[in-house]
Amino acid sequence: MSWNHFRKGKLAGALGLWVGDVGSEVQVAGPTGQLYQSGTALTGTGVDLNRGALKKVTGALAAKDTAGGVFSWANPEAGDIIVEHVAIVVTTKATGACSINVGTTATSATTSSDNLIDGKDVNAAAGTFTNLESAGTNGKSAQRLASGKWVTASVDTGGASAGLVGTYEIYYRVL
């Protein structure tokens, strides 16, 4: 029989949390909240524990024809990330000819880049378009991005985004 709330006759909160058979319990958490694995205290920081975690950010697309006008997102992490997947979810297509570029840039939030999605037509049809199936000529499957730098989406040369409605999804890992 296993116990998960007693240790030497005291409640779990007094000495942390222990699990296992009587006489061979293993500590899982200390009384101050420190975590344990196999009876050994974990000494990692929040940054260490966060490293490698897959994260998702979403936002609305804007019908703006300036560089970074469709969307602009800055890396909020303390270090570099790898942008693994970008999805443009177009619920209402642009009313006129319009292609968009999506990419990473170290320059500014108002800089056009096409290293994730290059020249995706968002007037032809509504739908979900990603850097994996709609990469175009310059798009890649992943890009490294420094802390505080940007992923931007911009109207490609000569297009107009009037009527465009939808969202974006960015999936990334902390390096």
Tell me what the mean pLDDT of segment 36-55 comes to: 77
Give dist(CA 107, CA 149) in Å, integer.
8
pLDDT above 90 as % of the chain: 67
Higher pLDDT, 47 or 173: 173
pLDDT in tens, 104-113: 999 999 999 9
What CATH class does 49-174 carry? mainly beta
Q: Is 48 helix (H, G, I), strand (E, B) or coil?
A: helix
The pLDDT assigned to 79 comes to 92
The pLDDT assigned to 14 comes to 61
Structure tokens at 49: 């524990």
Domain ranges of the chain: 2-43, 49-174
Closest of 159, 155, 117, 157 to residue 138, by C-alpha: 117
Q: Is 143 helix (H, G, I), strand (E, B) or coil?
A: strand
Give the number of other CB atoms < 10 A from CB of residue 12.
17
Q: 7 pLDDT exceeds 50?
A: no
Q: 36 pLDDT exceeds 90?
A: no
Contacts of 173 (CB under 8 A, 6+ apart): 52, 53, 54, 55, 81, 82, 84
The pLDDT assigned to 6 comes to 47
Tell me what the mean pLDDT of segment 44-64 comes to: 86
Q: Are residues 82 and 123 in contact, defined by beta-carbon separation less than 8 angstroms?
A: no
CA 141 to chain CA centroid, Å, is 14
pLDDT in tens, 121-166: 999 999 999 999 999 999 999 999 999 999 999 999 888 999 999 9
pLDDT in tens, 73-107: 999 999 999 999 999 999 999 999 999 999 999 99
The pLDDT assigned to 4 comes to 47
